[in-house]
Structure 1
Amino acid sequence: MNLAFLLLAPLAAIVLLAAPLVPVYRGVTTGKKAKRSVIANLCAFAGVCVLAFVLPIGNLVSAETAAAVSGAAAGMGYIAAALVTGLSCLGAGIAVAAAAPAAIGAVSEDPKSFGKAMIFVVLGEGVAIYGLLISILILNRL
């Protein structure tokens, strides 16, 4: 392969990963601009997935692992592990965002309800831990 291509492919992946951070840096949070930033984020993620699937960027896997699992299957396994971790953490964040303010309100009205309120907040965080465990199991299979 061409040396310029080997240098530009990882650079393209880095640019695709950093592109959605530009609207966040500018402070865009509401309206049509927020929709555009979410769409840009999804397009950048799809671009990185295509680059990771089509182009073998770097030798991130040892020779024994590469012999055991074909390149495409290993790439899909890594994408699966990343999706499991990312989506479970996103779900845990949504759960904690809903449970924590309710727990704070309950504790402010009745300080004795602190233990019960914290159980619901911790249950939301358990989703992220389960996702991390599943991604570790996926990575151990590769």
Structure 2
Amino acid sequence: MSLLVKITLSAALILSTIVPFGAFAIGEKTRGRYKVALAVNLFLFFGTMIVAAVLMFDGNAFAAEGAKETAAAVSSAAGMGYLSAALATGLSCLGGGIAVSAAASAALGAISEDSSILGKSLIFVGLAEGVCLYGLIISFMILGKL
């Protein structure tokens, strides 16, 4: 990618986090501003990611370097492989975090009432954490194929 594209994407990613929180700090003190700030942040962040994906996997970025079309196609396929490995790890960790938050809070409530069920409740928390490890293993398998 050219230097201009890298600078533009870096600025867009930085602004996608600064602008919503700046608007959040300046806005009126209502409960709904949290949702508005989060929605604007998510819109700008994922919009930037879509633009970055189009620019990175277009294949025209390699034309300036004099690469052949086959090399661009291979690099584009490798880029999609790296993206899929990142998504496998990221989404599995996100799901595992949600599962651990539910299981751990329920386990703490149950342990506060009856301390003899500590071992049983830790098993459920460990099973929820296993989802993250499975995603990491899948991403290593994807990276091994590249």
Distance 1:56 1:81, change over 3 A: farther
Distance 1:118 1:16, change over 3 A: farther
Which range moved further: 42-51 or 84-93?
Answer: 42-51
Aligned position for 1:99: 103
Aligned position for 2:29: none
User: What SS is found at the alignment partner of 1:33?
Assistant: helix
Report the CA distance between 1:29 and its aligned residue.
Answer: 7.4
Aligned position for 1:116: 120
Report the CA distance between 1:137 and its aligned residue.
Answer: 0.6
2:17 counterpart of 1:13? no
Radius of gyration: which is bigger?
2
Root-mean-square deviation (CA), in Å? 2.7
Check the 8 A contact 2:2/2:61 in 1, yes or no: no
Check the 8 A contact 1:103/1:118 in 2, yes or no: yes
Separation in 1, partners of 2:42, 2:52 = 15
Aligned position for 1:73: 77
Report the CA distance between 1:108 and its aligned residue.
Answer: 0.8
Task: Give structure 1 stretches of 5+ with no counterpart.
Answer: 58-65
Aligned position for 1:141: 145
User: What SS is found at the alignment partner of 1:41?
Assistant: helix
Separation in 2, partners of 1:121, 1:19 = 37
TM-score by length of 2: 0.74
TM-score by length of 1: 0.76
How many residue pairs end up in the alignment? 129
User: What SS is found at the alignment partner of 2:139?
Assistant: helix
Map 1:29-108 → 2, pairs under 5 A: 30-54=34-58, 56=61, 70-108=74-112
User: What SS is found at the alignment partner of 1:39?
Assistant: helix
Counterpart residue type for residue 49 of structure 2 = F
Task: Give structure 2 stretches of 5+ with no counterpart.
Answer: 26-31, 63-69
Distance 1:72 1:130, change over 3 A: same
